[in-house]
A and B are shown apart, each in its own frame.
Chain A
């Protein structure tokens, strides 16, 4: 009996205690860790002469989403203090997966990341490709909504720019970058167009910026009167593009036909009155000339996003109107003639005159 009770206690202890023990263990380990890591001068001189700062205190996680976690919750390969080897890079998937019981958000983002251009590069052995902590930070991970977060709307471009420097430089002076730096939250940052975890190369059909999907991506904001009216930008550009040959061919899967970015630029989009803009009338011959060799200044004479249904389109509107009434009148006359013919035949079939 005693033996049995002992066995039950050990079993229950094995089930319940780790739950309690974790916090206690973490607290202990934090104290133990800061024995060395808590010294501000605690650092390591690397082979290449660089210095790796190893200073960590109990405050390092304070305010972050992992505030309540301890060192070994993430650095779980440290099981003796002092550790003999350098701990491995933290594996976020330990907690961050759908169905986890650690209290991490229930999200499949990690799977999306593995499928993305960045995840694929890591899998292919590219040491420069980013892992979770390269974008989200290591100890000071904050929620996206927190403006101080490295992946917040206003800061994410800077984060991406740490690797994509040239693109960041272009973006920063573009209309979207400038608007964002002025604090306009409607302006898209990198993730606004490229997506967050699901970032693919623009040559990958899954990408949100794949040639045939660019217009769809831009129209998310540019077709919205609610957003565009704030800035006095017309929303008809989307509809007129979709009706143009460029838009239709793109819809049918042409990857060579012009999409929004082909003319307006990609990261360096600027308003048309900016002399550096690709759609500034003075730059139009060059921009159109990318696909239409020999394009000249005539390409800029007349509205580009022309809508034949609007009176402002002038001669194009009148052409459309002429053909509209020509078609209606002609077809009406022809159809009336057909019905009269059928009516006459019916009468004669009935034996009438």
Chain B
């Protein structure tokens, strides 16, 4: 209630100020004209204030609804911050562009290849699109590198991404669990071995693809220093690693985040970056416990390991 009073008081203050300004501005005009202008302005201001109030009321309702939802679903945990989500979006956009403009060159006789190249208006255009994709991927790589070095979240995540002994144990346990030898499931921290593999696969892929891609992009400049077989090697690497990366994305990554029955047809985690409390307990129990322990002011029991 007090909030509303404050708002009304604010409104009154604004109105007074406007009146004062108007009086000053209109002092020279004949009274009839001045009244007309004042009326007009007053109406416009009133409209604007009303609209503003409507918007505020709507956002208040939305907030209330979300609070209600939160009570129902439990707390939301921010898994990926906005910066990281942006990186992922840049990366997948560029990778999609690169795959659809690059794969037809590896399989020119495949029936769809001609169609895909034709979609861009011919090979001249599709190679330009491929270079745009390449530019985005290079930007992503630079951005991620700076993110890893310069931000706290980036540094923490990078350290947590380093594979350890626990990951080997997790793999063994998970396989035993799949085979039904044990009902125990590996308890993952912030990053499971699956996610660590994805991360390092992208790292390796980016280094190989960008490195060899730049060789092919600036072939004449590279051959000022290196023999032709270096370009051929880059060509072979680019072509082979492209296939490996595409297969890993389409089969492995898509299974884990799309086709897997738990997630089908995919979550919006890449968009909003949040996990529910239930998902957090289910998929990253160690991280959850760590967060809870930190909140309770106790030192975490099993940090990282």
Contacts and interface: CB of A to CB of B under 8 A. Distances in A.
A8 interface: no
Contacts of A203: none
- Interface majority SS (helix, strand, loop, mixed), chain A: helix
B235 A245 contact: yes
Contacts, number: 116
B243 interface: yes
A252 B223 contact: no
A18 B112 CA distance: 63
A347 B183 CA distance: 11
B223 A319 contact: no
A326 B247 CA distance: 12
B277 interface: no
Interface string A244-278: 01001101111011000000000000000000000
B227 interface: yes
A331 interface: yes
Interface in B217-264: 219-221, 223-230, 232-233, 235-237, 240-241, 243-244, 247-248, 251-252, 255, 260-261
Interface in A312-353: 313-316, 319-320, 323-324, 326-327, 330-331, 334-335, 337-338, 340-341, 343-345, 347, 352-353
B237 A319 contact: yes
Interface string B109-134: 00001100100001110110000000
B247 A302 contact: no
Contacts of A180: none
A280 B226 CA distance: 20
B179 interface: yes
B23 interface: no
B294 interface: no
Given A248-B105, A331-B247, A334-B248, A316 B114 contact: no
Contacts of A299: 223, 228
B201 to A, nearest CB: 8
Given A334-B251, A338-B252, A340-B178, A323 B241 contact: yes
A146 interface: no
Contacts of A111: none
Nearest to A249: B123
B180 interface: yes
Nearest to A308: B236
**Most chain A CB within a 10 A radius of its CB, from B183, B219, B229:** B229
A293 interface: yes
B223 A254 contact: no
Nearest to B185: A344
Interface string A277-299: 00000000000000011111011
A56 B194 CA distance: 94
A148 to B, nearest CB: 45
Contacts of B237: 319, 323
The size class of the interface chain A forms with chain B is 35 or more
- Interface majority SS (helix, strand, loop, mixed), chain B: helix
A331 B244 contact: yes
Nearest to B245: A327
B175 interface: yes
A330 B248 contact: yes
Nearest to A344: B178
B248 A245 contact: no
B301 to A, nearest CB: 28
Contacts of A245: 105, 216, 235
**Most chain A CB within a 10 A radius of its CB, from B108, B179, B247:** B108
A306 B228 CA distance: 10
Interface of A: 242, 245, 248-249, 251-254, 256-257, 292-296, 298-304, 306, 308, 313-316, 319-320, 323-324, 326-327, 330-331, 334-335, 337-338, 340-341, 343-345, 347, 352-353
The 9 A-B residue pairs whose C-beta atoms are closest, nearest first, are A302-B229, A323-B240, A344-B178, A301-B227, A340-B178, A302-B228, A252-B123, A298-B223, A334-B252
Given A245-B235, A294-B220, A306-B232, 12 more contacts: A245-B216, A249-B105, A249-B123, A251-B108, A252-B113, A295-B220, A303-B232, A315-B233, A316-B233, A323-B236, A331-B247, A343-B178
30 contacts: A245-B216, A245-B235, A248-B105, A251-B108, A252-B108, A252-B113, A252-B114, A252-B117, A252-B122, A252-B126, A254-B123, A257-B123, A294-B221, A298-B224, A298-B225, A298-B228, A299-B223, A299-B228, A302-B227, A302-B229, A302-B230, A302-B232, A323-B241, A324-B240, A326-B244, A327-B247, A343-B178, A344-B177, A344-B179, A344-B180
Interface of B: 104-105, 108, 113-114, 117, 122-124, 126-127, 175, 177-180, 183, 216, 219-221, 223-230, 232-233, 235-237, 240-241, 243-244, 247-248, 251-252, 255, 260-261
